[in-house]
Structure 1
Amino acid sequence: MHLTVNHVTHFKFGEPATHSIQYIRMTPRADLCQRVRSWDITASGRLTPWSDGFDNQAHVATYDGEHDEVRVTVTGEITTSDTNGILPMDDGLPPYIFLTPTDYTDSDAEIEKFAKPIGKVLAAEGALAAGHALMAAVAEAVEYKSGQTNVTTTAAEALAAGKGVCQDQTHLFIAAARHLELPARYVSGYLADSTGNDSHLASHAWAEMLVDGLGWVSFDPANDQCATDAYIRLALGLDYGTASPIRGLRSGGGVEEMDVSVRIEEQQ
């Protein structure tokens, strides 16, 4: 697919901030499933490119002096390919890193109980079948419903609530997979909506799990499917904290309001 992206994130502060810094991971990764035609990131602050520990191509935006708003704009064109949701294990990142527990993905007794039937599938049919079974189980256990969780919600909390968004479902998938000793990682990106006007769908998150003999296989519990050419991969990491599109710190500013506009369109 030939896709165009227009993504604007606008932060408005209740009172002037004196200093802000943002970590922006909104540049597509170079891999077999996508080729960037053009990509541009602009911010109202000073923008410095960098590469993080997961080889995500990122930027640091720094804002000095009093300011009451911050704006980040992403525009670009990209060509995507359907690889059946599979990518080779050739990104130079040791798979065992993605067994590391985090605050978001720590398992508890309920997650271990949740993962037990998946462990039986793993033993009988292998990792690929276990991944598909886990994806379906997460979709059933955590109903997709916005407004029930927030960016600090953990996998255990999402499972207990039974509701959440793609971030929560992805964290639960990763937590259960790691409990079963299956390396799994968090991917942030975009999902092109067929109507082209649903920002909620456009910004997305899903998991990738290592399957011996295949590579990294994508699993999207929110849609109960593997990634297709409608997906754009931006960043990967252990969890939301290490793969989030934008995270920041500031001095002052008071209450913050955020407005996001995302538009993904297919070009003929």
Structure 2
Amino acid sequence: MKLSVTHETRYTYGSAVIQAHHVAYLKPVDNVMQRLHAFDLQISPAPSIQTWSVDRYGQQRCYFELTDAHEELVVVAHSVLTTQAMPEALRGKFPAVRLPEGLPWQEAALAMQYEAGQAFDDAREYTQPSALAPVQDVFRDYALQSCVPAQAQTAHQLAAQLCRRIYEEFDYQPQATDVSTPPLHALRMKAGVCQDFAQVMIASLRSLGLAAKYVSGYLLTEPPPGQPRLIGADASHAWVSVYCPQDGWMEFDPTNNCLAGETHVRLAYGRDYGDVAPLRGVIRGGGTHELDVAVTVMPQE
């Protein structure tokens, strides 16, 4: 599916910002799941310094610095890319999806434990706790409730069950959390947004010893029948990539109870939201501020 994505971020400050340093993860990754054809990043006011670098995971990020006083910052990223179609057996919502038969999740967890002389597997990093996806007994207990006692579940089958439970048990409430909300708080409330759902799922899987990544991106949504597509009405999205040594990585969307497919656009992968926030920075001045984000994902001919 060929898609066009426009992501506009606008900060309006209560007083002048004297100096600002920002890092943006707004360029979609180019990998086996999608091909990036074009990308353009417009920043206003124009930065005095703007450089691109590659992070520890091989993804491109933009650093820019503003040294002139300004009361508004507008960052617009435009991308055109083609996403990869999924095999027919993997389309749809759970539990109808037929997942590959891999290792039982307990064996997958054992394989993630380091032993002397083992070949290096970089997936092991994603079994470790991070600031917004900790390893704790409360998450382990929540994940174990998704296990079928009489059945040898694979890592991906367990992830699918956990994905469905979060979808069914959590309420989507945009005002209930913010970007710094710990996943334990979201778990106790059973509420939040896609970022919270993803980080609860990641923390639960890691607490079992499994490897799980945070995926930052977008989702193509369809307008109601007969209605035009609204410009800027979409939002950033987040989901989870889960690893099995035998079958590799597979991406689960607990907000929608499905595998991430051709309607999902991948911006970046990290341990949690803190690694791959679309735009963050440090400013001098500014006072209070207002933030407006408008995202448009549209299919291309």
Same fold (TM over 0.5): yes
1:166 corresponds to 2:181: no
Match of 1:72 in 2: 75
Equivalent position SS for 1:101? coil
Moved more, 92-101 or 205-214: 92-101
Match of 2:95 in 1: none
CA distance in 2 between partners of 1:69 and 1:122 (Å):
59
Offset of residue 54 of structure 1: 1.5
Identity of aligned residues (%): 30
CA distance in 2 between partners of 1:122 and 1:167 (Å):
32
Match of 1:14 in 2: 14
Gaps of 5+ in 1: 87-91
1:148 corresponds to 2:171: no
Residues 38, 78 of structure 1: 8 Å contact kept = yes
Amino acid at match of 1:190: Y
Match of 1:35 in 2: 35
Change (3 A) 1:122 1:22: farther
Residues 107, 156 of structure 1: 8 Å contact kept = no
Offset of residue 244 of structure 1: 1.3
1:233 to 243, 247, 266: 266
Match of 2:62 in 1: 59
Offset of residue 148 of structure 1: 0.6
More helix by proportion, 1 or 2?
1
Moved more, 110-119 or 233-242: 110-119
Residues 84, 261 of structure 2: 8 Å contact kept = yes
Q: TM-score, normalised by structure 2?
A: 0.82
Gaps of 5+ in 2: 91-98, 100-119, 224-228
CA distance in 2 between partners of 1:114 and 1:171 (Å):
13
Amino acid at match of 1:142: F
Offset of residue 93 of structure 1: 7.7
Residues 192, 202 of structure 1: 8 Å contact kept = no
Match of 1:89 in 2: none
Residues 11, 71 of structure 1: 8 Å contact kept = yes
2:143 to 101, 105, 115: 115
1:186 to 196, 201, 214: 214
User: Residues 98-117 of structure 1, C-alpha deviation per residue, up to 9 Å, x if partnerless?
Assistant: 11211211144432321222
Moved more, 233-242 or 21-30: 21-30
More strand by proportion, 1 or 2?
1
CA distance in 2 between partners of 1:56 and 1:147 (Å):
31
1:223 corresponds to 2:251: no
Residues 233, 294 of structure 2: 8 Å contact kept = no
Q: List aligned pairs for 1:189-268, cutoff 5 A.
A: 189-195=217-223, 196-197=229-230, 199=232, 201-268=234-301
